[in-house]
Amino acid sequence: QVHLVESGGGSVQAGGALRLSCAVSGCTFSTCNMGWFRQAPGKEREGVAAIGTNGVAKFSESVQGRFTMFKDNAKVILGLQMNSLKPEDTAIYYCAAGGGRWRSSDFLNIENYNYWGQGTQVTVSS
């Protein structure tokens, strides 16, 4: 069984930064594609960033250049460094994982992910 636990959410002013972490058990970066998704109030959950089992990373256009990912292979921790935050980044952020060999076009597709964390709130004030 795969378990994911997010941490690091909080409140910050626009232009600030936050760092999220996701502790994963039950799979590794070699066996699971992993990603970050977010859901704002009244909106659908959307893909933010993901990394495939081949090590290729993909970011949504809305966060490209502002967000980066980091990982600890030994501890199986996937992180999301969020810089230059905007009020529109306010959402619950979820970590997710899914097995298989994917094309990069699959990385931000929510339907491909089988396992989800409980989410962590990120609030950006103007």
| Tokens encoding 40 | 């704002």
pLDDT of residue 28: 96
Q: Write the pLDDT tens digit of every residue in 57-69.
A: 999 999 999 999 9
- The residue written with tokens 């964390």 in the block is 117
Closest CA to 113 of 126, 87, 94: 94
Rounded to whole angstroms, the Cα distance separating 123 from 52 reads: 28
pLDDT above 90: residue 49: yes
pLDDT above 90: residue 39: yes
Q: pLDDT tier at 53 (50, 70, 90 boundaries)?
A: very high
Q: Write the pLDDT tens digit of every residue in 103-121.
A: 888 999 999 999 999 999 9
